[in-house]
Structures are given as structure tokens and as C-alpha cells.
Structure 1
Amino acid sequence: MQNPRTIDPDYLTSRLKALLDIPSPTGFTDEAVRYTARELERLGLEVKLTRRGAIRALRPGAAQRPARGIVSHLDTLGAQVKALKENGRLELVSIGHWSARFAEGARASIFSSRGTYRGTILPLKASGHTFNEEVDTQPVGWPHVELRVDALTHQRDDLLQLGIDVGDIVAIDPQPEFLDNGFIVSRHLDDKAGVAVMLAALEAMQRAKIETPVDTYWLFTIGEEVGVGASAVLVPEIASLVAIDNGTTATGQNSQEFGVTLAMADQTGPFDYHLSKKLHELCGEHAIQVQKDVFRHYRSDAASAVEAGHDVRTALLTFGVDGSHGYERIHLQALISLARLTIHYVASEVQIERDAEEVSGLRGFTHQKVHEAKQDLKADEQARS
């Protein structure tokens, strides 16, 4: 393949900044979809949207099958108005799975029928001058926080007068910081950083006019945080699907904030043996730092695609995130590594030609050969001495 040009870090970070500026909790993703679709069209791809706004962008290759899919999600965590309280504040329920511990103190926007209001999510006992040590001992959870609206709202009727109602979407401010040392700190890096990785890979491929052996579909979903993700965006031509999302750099995990973290399994089970092996080998061939991890409380667009009945090989590439689903931190080096690997993958030759057909005979079917491992004890002793 042609040597891909260096990933443009300025392009990558500028796209990430733009995406973070667009509120897109699940159920409120139209503007993020519009922004991403226009950028894909500017890059020269054919773009199609599903009814609700999932994006399917085609970059043609030498053959239509077995096509490859790359997927990330535009939707983020958020909240929704559960009830209008008699004290003029709002009870909330989370959109997606995240702890109210990380909602306390957050600035937020409420999208009402009459416009956008600003507010702050606070614990029920927020004043230390009033509640003293009870501020620290009160329970943590969504029933124990409320949204204080920045308007004159002393009672429930005041909220109704403003047009605020049950079911209104609440977007949490990302508060991004892009540091000179490459660290990026923000909410919603899951998975707007993944979207930026995909756009940066595409920009580099278009700039370098890189050809691929098969069609690639660049997919952007709008419901991953609530579990539906890539359930309705694939086409039959797609035989393998690589999701780009966040990894977890917490205690007990092998993910890192640098390089590529290749997920070998999540809560739905192992990812495809052959596809994961290929991605790991590509990292070795192209000097891309890589580490493997297994996630226990995690699922991605890949899981939703398989659960919807798509018989595709799946893999998960991640950028290590510290404090996932909270105050998240990543490093630009990991995003660039992922973009590089994405280019090498989509430009690589197809190994399993049989995947061009959804159903076929045994001819060309894969092997998982097991060989007896042999240890060179003499070499091992020399290495230790």
C-alpha cells in the first residue's frame, strides 16, 4: 500500500473540539449528525442517513465484497427531566449508564419547548452552611440530585410557565481542555474522540489518495449509550465491523492512555478471533504501540450489530480513557495511533475471501490451529543470567 501521510493532529483536534461543542445526548443527536455528514461529504464520500439519523458513508474500493465497516457513535451520556418539583427544581433520570456522583456540580442545558435554559445539577443538600457534615454523608444517586434552573422558578408552576416539562432532554457541559502536553480532558470523549479518529483517518486517506481492496463503510450511530448502536445501520455487503470507542484505564485493566488498546472481549463475550489477530499483527508490522484488554462492564456498537442479527466479524479498538463516563482524560498520541491503524486495516488485503458470501460451503473456511507450545529452557536461562 502507499505510505499514508502523517495524521494531521490539528485536523483531528479541531474536529473533536467542534463535536464537543455540539450537545448530543442520546435522543438529541440531529445537529451532531448534520455536522458529521457535511464533513464526510466535504471529504468526498457518498453519505446516506437512516430515518433517525445514523450515518452510512461509502468509500469505494476495488471490490464491493467482502466490505469492511468502521463504526463509532455520536450520542453521549446525558439526562432527562423525570419530574417538576414543588421547589421549582427538576428531578432527573440519566440517559445512558453513568453515576450521579459525576453529575453533582455539572453545568447543563435544558432543551424545552420554548428554548434552552441553563442550570446546575446539585445534591439535595448542597449548602454546607445549612447542612454541615450532612453534605458529605448524604446518599449518592439520581434520586438524590436535582437541577437548579437559572431562572425565577420557586415552584412547579414557574417551570411550566417557562415551557419546561417532563421528558425534556438535558445536556451536560463537556468543559474540554486541550493541554500542550497532548492530554485532553473533557466529558463526552466517549465517543466523540472516536468520531474524530475516523474523520482524521479519512482525511489522511483522501489526501494521500490511498486505495483499498474492498469498499469501506464509515458508520456513525446515534443510540450506542442506550444499547441500540449499530443495530440498524449495516448493509449485507459488510462482513467485518471494527468499532472505535473508549478503553478503561482503571485499576485491574490493561488499557493505557497511549497507543492502541485492542479489546479481546467485553461483557457479551470474545471478539472475532481472526479479525482481532489481524489488527494486532498490523500494529506489529507498522510499529504501533498496542496492548490487549478484556472489559467486564462494557458493550459497544459491535455488540448491538451482532444482537440485531448481523453475521459479521467484530473487533473493538479503543483509546485509553481515565475516568470513563465521568471526568474523562485521553491523550492525543492514542488517537493518532488509532487513526494510523484504521488506515492500515482498511488498506490491507482481504485474508478470508469466503466472507464475500453470507453463506457458503466449507471451502475456504478458517482454521484455528493449535500447536503444542515448546519452551527453550536453555535460551530462557541465558536470558535470566
Structure 2
Amino acid sequence: MAPYESESAGRRKATRYVVPVAVVGVAAATIGLVPALADSGSPDLPKLSAQQLIEKIAKSDVQQMSGTVKISTDLGLPSLGGMAGGFTPGAGGSSDGGDGKAGSAADPQSKLMELASGTHTLRVAADGPDRHKLSVLDNAAEYSVIHNGDEVWAYDSASNEAYHSKDAAAAGDRAEKRSKGETPKGVPATPKELADEVLKASGKTTSISVEGTSQVAGRDAYKLLVKPKQAGSTVGGITISVDAKTGVPLKFTLTPAGGGKAVVDAGFTKVDFAEPAASTFDFTPPKGTKVTEGDDLKAQDKSHAPKDLPKDLPKGMPKELKDAQGGGMNDMKVIGEGWTSIAELKLPGGQGLPTGGSGSGDVPPEAQKFMDALGDHVTGKFGSGTVFSTRLVNALITDDGKVYVGAVTKDALVKAANAAQ
């Protein structure tokens, strides 16, 4: 019997469709690991060990490339639709908070998060560390982010809005590091050292092997398979297809332990390692474009911060005030290691989800029924709480305001919460 009891089969079915913001953030973060997709055939290539293939990746010195990427993500979340604008470029509109000043439909921070579900086609280009372009295509509309030196532009053709930011200091730091050619302290200096460190670090928790070959975007590739050795992880395995000639990862597929289609399947359908045209990274806002300056948004954020708090907060200040100042994340700690790591943190105020009923009055009974349908109610030595799930990441929010989140099973979350008592 599982170490917790579900309230109903209907609720279990509903849990995979809704997840707290923290879970969405962790799950969405998996998208940025490696670009890739579309493989066929098994070319006859010289045999390589896992260490040799990792070294090949580390030796890769590709600076220029361009291509088309298809990315499919199925975290078990519903279509966000009007709640988040879907990913129809421009559908999100401006978020001005009623004052017409804050937010932009082209702001990359919110726009690219929408890649967390569905299937999307992207065009990508790179020319060294300071020039990149990513465009998300959707029928006749297009959303692009262009990084050229110390400038970043984002443009949403559907809404005709643009976001602009300058970061001269960061660009200068990158140039200085490249000119010195120094290796940061503690970082392996050679591909072999890096491969040794990766294999050594993964020994107890991870299995790494070369599992055959494939073709990705018409190029021969090796398939590196990374799998958990630990029980309790929701990750079944990760396959990375590596270009046999350049060592560049071309395909990334993450499959869940529970089976079914991939959680993330991303890869090149076309790729070219020639230098992109310089004009690829040029951008001038079309006439009539509403331009939002990133510095202006930062200034607005600062203006909305509490003004009556001292710069140096006293050690004896109330915990609630510390939580408000630090977002309640200062108490976060990690339980376990490797694939079964679980982040534990406390919600501000030391309270869990709001509850309904005639006694508390926190939320109306109808709203409470809706919240109950979103997650599985669980109990244990820790007390009681609610588990919210995706196909990859699960989160337990206890009634006393603790959160346990990780790419682990529900049983593992309950076990961690019990052990923390």
C-alpha cells in the first residue's frame, strides 16, 4: 500500500492538469537544456565509449550555426489559453497593471515561458558568444529575440511591440574573460578532465552509455543515453544525439519513468554550420512599433518596492518581515542527491493553501471544491497536504506551509516530508 491515501479516482485524474507556479518553473527549466529533433536511420560509425563521446562534446568549438528547431513539450499541463496567451505571438498583449506603463507583450521573460507546452517551430542562429537570434514561428506571426553585442531586442509581430535592453557591462566582462583565456578555478581544463569529472560525479546515481547511432537533420550522430540508477525518480532517461563530425548536440529527448511519449523532444530539422549573414542579427523596430525599454521596467520595479525598510535589516527582525523581504526562499534546502533530490522550502507566513468551510472563511466552499479537485490530498507523519503533479515534476504543499518539490514520485515526496519531522 502506498504511504498515503488518495481521496478519489476523479481527483487523481485531475492532478496531472494543474500545478503550482513553483512546479511550472522547475519543469519549464528543462526546456533550455539542449536544442534538437527529427532523426532517422542508424549510420555505421566508429565505436565510441561514453567517455570518448563526452570528450567529443567538450572539444566542440563550433561558433557559427543556424537552423530550424522543432520542440514538443508534454508536461501534462492543460492548454493555458487565455490565462497565459497560449503561444500565439502577440496573444498575451500588454500587461500594464491598469496604468499603461508596466509590461510588454514582447518581454522575453514571460513570452519564452510559454514554450512549456505544445509543439513549436523555431529558427535559431549564432555567431560567436555575442550574437544570437531565436524566432518562434506561428502561422503568419513571428516572435524574435535578437542578441547583438551589448543589446537585446525582442519583437512580437502580432502586437507590433518590442522590448529593448542594454547590458554593456556583461558584454565587457565576456570580452575580458575571452581575452585572458583563463579557466575558472575548479573547472576542468581539458575535455578529458571534464569527461572524467562527469563520469566520476555520476557514478553512484547515474548510468551513462552510448546506445547506437542515428541521423538528425541529415547528419550522422551518436546517441548518448543518461539514466537514473536511483528508484523514485520520475525521469526514465535522457537521450542526446551528438553530431559525429562537430560534437554538437543535435537532439534532446527526455522520457518519463511512467512511460508514454516524451516529456521534452527538441531538435534540429535543418542545421547549417556556416557563418550566418551579419544582417541576421540587425534589428530596427518597424514604424509604429511600441517599444518598451528594459531599464524603464527595472526602475518601475524598484519604485514599487517597500520604501520604509532599512537597507541593513536587523538580525532580530520578525520572521514575517524577513519572508516578505526575501520572498520566503531563504529557508530552502535540498534533501537527497542526484535524480531524487527534493527541494524543501517554507511559504511566507507558515501557512499552506487557503481552506474553506464555515469556520475559516478563507475561501468560499465552491472555490474550495475546485481547489480540492486540482490535487491529491495526502496524509502522513508530517500531517496533511496536497500533491500537485505534472508528468515530470511533483510538489507537495503541506497544511503547515512547507513545500517539497522535485522530479520524484508522490511517494518520495511524502517520505521526505515524514523524514523531515
Shorter-normalised TM-score: what interval?
under 0.3
TM-score (norm 1): 0.22
Larger helix proportion of the pair: 1
